[in-house]
Amino acid sequence: MSEQQKPILYTIGNWTFKTSGNELAHADGHKLKLEDKIAKLLEALCVQRGIIVSKEQLIDQVWQGRELSEQTIPVAISKLRKALGDDINNPTMLATVPRQGYQLLDEQTRPQTNQRKLFGFSIAQIAGAILVAAVVSLIWTIGAKEDPLDRIQLTNSEKPGVIVTINDVRTTDNEEDKIPLAIAVSEMSSYYLSQVPDILVIRHWWNLDAPDPTGGIFTRYGPTTPVYSLKGILIKDGPDDVVSFVLSDPKNDEIIWSGMHPISAGSAGLFPMFRSMLTRLQVAPITASSAPDETVGYWRARYFMQLSNPSAAGIAVEELAALLSVDEQSTASYTSARALASRWKDNPDLAEQIAFLSQRLDQISDEQDPAQNHFALVDKASTLLFDFSDTKSAIILLETALEQAPGDHYALSLIGEAKLMGGDTQAAITAYEKAFRLAPYAKAYGARLKELKNRP
């Protein structure tokens, strides 16, 4: 075999990558065959190991300069990270460097663990992709060259692969007392599906009486874009509460998929059910195993919290205060309560309720260990933003959250607030426009947009 014909081998953690066969071989003996483009992506990163490789460089090297949709590279990176078994929140092999690109890590470039605590959270946990303060400063300095909103996967996509609209789970006429439960299931469903990188999730947008029942989705993305409507109804099945889900094609009302979810099965039953739906759509499912909290109160609180208006925030405060009054509080309810208190602490209409919630929080140890999910990042970003006006760190956390969950409209709205604090009204408008497209039911987004656009 000539020198040029010899396969090139690269070592990545416990993996050996052989370029000639697009093959990853693990130290334990098992092997993985990579898609051609994913293998070429890995090879490009291996050749420039330890160096941050920009999106533009990857387009030139892997896709030969072709015009790509916004989600192509993030989805490819997600697939590669999944193949390597790397953790986006604590990468040891493949890191996303906000506003710059991607980096295959070596021993010299791996981020060092920092366990210093800030309000009970280690910096390593809450920052995710934030490596060290110097890097953050550098990122912010060069950020004017590329707006962070342009990096968001599907929320900025001109042509998403698949769109799924989610309506709230309904109840039957004689089961109106189950509305809180229905809201909780709706939010938990959105939590899972919003993390799937290959689909664009839009909430509460289906008017069957309109000329375009999608509310402009076909107009915006074209009539050939696959659009599906996911609806659910909460029913009784003997002694149990069950949600019947149906995914349909709005163009011909054809039922594409259906599933039954017993409420008692929790997220451990709900998420695998949706994985079967994604398989039916030929969309790669994610492997999220459980929700950050299984209580109805928590998911109701998230729903009202994300409506982003004072009256809804008051309901969220009541739900979270009740959760904090029990003997054991979940990390998720604690971090959400902190974020909610931070955001609305100066609103006079909520002063009494926020004071009560803050009192509950003060009675709990702040040595909480936040779960590694996008809600934890969004909540921490909200605390940094509204308590400390730390727009730089908040935006980086929110960008990291959007990498995990490109359909998180609330994270986009907070980027809008951070941009506004930084004096960039136009960037704030852009962020809110994207958030409103993802969640048109959140009227506060529309009101905020109108107010921002009318500013002198």
Residue 5 has pLDDT above 90, yes or no: no
The length of the chain in residues reads 456
Q: What angle do CA 108, 114, 119 make, to 5 degrees?
A: 155
Question: How far apart, in whole angstroms, are the C-alpha atoms of residue 283 and residue 71?
Answer: 14
Q: Binning pLDDT at 50, 70 and 90, where does residue 178 land? A: confident
For the domain covering 296-453, report its CATH number.
1.25.40.10
Question: How far apart, in whole angstroms, are the C-alpha atoms of residue 118 and residue 103?
Answer: 27
Domain residues of the chain, as ranges?
3-111, 162-280, 296-453
Average pLDDT over residues 374-399: 93
pTM of the predicted protein model: 0.65
Percent of the chain surpassing pLDDT 70: 78
Q: Binning pLDDT at 50, 70 and 90, where does residue 158 land? A: very low
Taking alpha carbons only, the member of 98, 110, 187 closest to residue 149 is: 98
Q: Binning pLDDT at 50, 70 and 90, where does residue 90 land? A: confident
For the stretch 198-241, pLDDT in tens is 788 887 655 544 445 455 676 667 777 788 889 999 988 778 89
Could you please report the per-residue DSSP string of 76-91?
HHHHHHHHHT--TTS-
389 secondary structure, DSSP code: -
Most confident segment among 71-75, 237-241, 336-340: 336-340
For the stretch 144-155, pLDDT in tens is 333 433 333 333
What is the phi-psi region of residue 204: left when phi exceeds 0, alpha when psi lies from -120 to 50, beta otherwise?
left
For the stretch 300-309, pLDDT in tens is 999 999 999 9
The CATH topology of domain 162-280 is Rossmann fold (3.40.50)
Q: Binning pLDDT at 50, 70 and 90, where does residue 398 land? A: very high
Given a contact cutoff of 8 angstroms between Cβ atoms, the answer to whether 324 and 360 are in contact is yes
Residue 173 has pLDDT above 50, yes or no: yes
Average pLDDT over residues 58-84: 81
Mean confidence (pLDDT) of the chain: 79
111 secondary structure, DSSP code: P
The CATH topology of domain 3-111 is Arc Repressor Mutant, subunit A (1.10.10)
- Choice among 110-114, 133-137, 179-183, 435-439 with the minimum mean pLDDT: 133-137
Q: Binning pLDDT at 50, 70 and 90, where does residue 443 land? A: confident
